[in-house]
Amino acid sequence: KKRGRVAAPIKTNTMGMALFSVLAFLCGEASALRVGVTPARLISLRITVSPMCSVAVFGASGGTGSEAVLQALERGEEVTCLVRDRNKLVAPRTAAGFTAGAPLLPAAGSEKLTVTQGSVTARGDVDAVFAGKDVTGVVVALGGKTSDVGPTMLQDGTANIVSACKQYGVKRISIVTTIGAGDSMDQAPWAFRLLMMTVMSSIMADKNAQESVITTAGADLEYCIVRPGGLKSEPPTGIVTAGNDQDAGAITRADVAAFCLDAVLEPDFQFLGQAVSISSNMGSGFQSVLADKTKSRMAAKK
């Protein structure tokens, strides 16, 4: 395992970073997948009922959530997930063999993915993800337009997930929020800070409340709050650096997903009980082992 690696400094455009984040929030992760790109990875999936699962993913139809599903399956884990619409469980932009944004449901090749259709704000639907399965870790990558999902979906859904974790004895959970949430306002680009206080004030209030759910109701869980910088839909770089002492830079959704999976799968993950900002060019470094493995698998398939 490589730890303590520091990414080389990368100059970033702060306005561009703000636009990345705004698009992720206002358009929703799933919406961003509809733009066609050249795919770079291949995995074939068949949806089936599996009695045993190890990773639960909430927000699986979004850009980061679908990456978490894909990478967990690539790692050999069994996956159970909750989506509002089965047809929106789509291939990540970087998945070869599929048209970007094409549904994964008709695909064939894996018996390790269980899909539940429902709402994270309905406790019964959340329970269905855990019931009868050996879930050992949870990745929460919720998103969507406030006009579509409501102003408190993030906090309400996360409260249901935390409660279910306690009921079913699941200790590990990673949750994706954003740079600028909680005490990380100073790390956000100046343009994004302005937007957070104006047009994005509602979604930021929900994200802040979502983090509070984890640090209060979920305080006895082994959690990691993940605050990515500007999100990009590109293949994983294999480099994820974490720290709370510098301005945030860009990071791919694939690398965010890798970090989140590390948080729930690695016994000695070093950021448990913390909220940490991540990008590909921050100061105090952390090399994501899973991201490294994912990059190696990509190279092997070329």
Tokens 């074939």 belong to 44
Spatial CB neighbours of 169, under 8 Å, sequence gap ≥ 6: none
Domain 14-297 -> CATH class: alpha beta
Listed by start position, the domains of the chain span 14-297
Spatial CB neighbours of 65, under 8 Å, sequence gap ≥ 6: 29, 57, 58, 59, 81, 139, 141, 142, 143, 257
Q: What is the pLDDT of residues 173-184, one digit of tens each?
A: 999 998 777 576
Q: How confident is the model at residue 70 (pLDDT cuts 50, 70, 90)?
A: confident
Q: How confident is the model at residue 196 (pLDDT cuts 50, 70, 90)?
A: low
Contact 207, 151 (CB under 8 A): no
Angle between helix axes 153-167 and 123-130 (nearest 10 degrees) is 40
Task: Give me 22's structure tokens.
Answer: 């705004």
pTM for the full model? 0.75
Segment of 12-16, 137-141, 206-210 carrying the highest mean pLDDT: 137-141
Q: What is the pLDDT of residues 107-161, one digit of tens each?
A: 534 578 899 999 999 999 999 999 999 999 999 999 877 767 889 999 999 999 9
176 or 289: whose pLDDT is higher? 176
Task: Give me 229's structure tokens.
Answer: 């910088």
Spatial CB neighbours of 119, under 8 Å, sequence gap ≥ 6: 84, 125, 157
Report the pLDDT value the prediction gives residue 80, as an integer from 0 to 100.
94
Report the pLDDT value the prediction gives residue 12, as an integer from 0 to 100.
38
**Residue 42, pLDDT above cutoff 70:** no
Report the pLDDT value the prediction gives residue 190, as an integer from 0 to 100.
61
Report the pLDDT value the prediction gives residue 51, as an integer from 0 to 100.
43
Report the pLDDT value the prediction gives residue 7, as an integer from 0 to 100.
37
Q: CA 229 to CA 226: how far, in whole Å?
A: 10
Least confident of 19-28, 46-55, 219-228: 19-28
Q: CA 111 to CA 104: how far, in whole Å?
A: 13
Report the pLDDT value the prediction gives residue 112, as an integer from 0 to 100.
86
Report the pLDDT value the prediction gives residue 189, as an integer from 0 to 100.
65
Q: How confident is the model at residue 233 (pLDDT cuts 50, 70, 90)?
A: confident
Q: Are strands 241-242 and 274-279 parallel, antiparallel or unpaired?
A: antiparallel
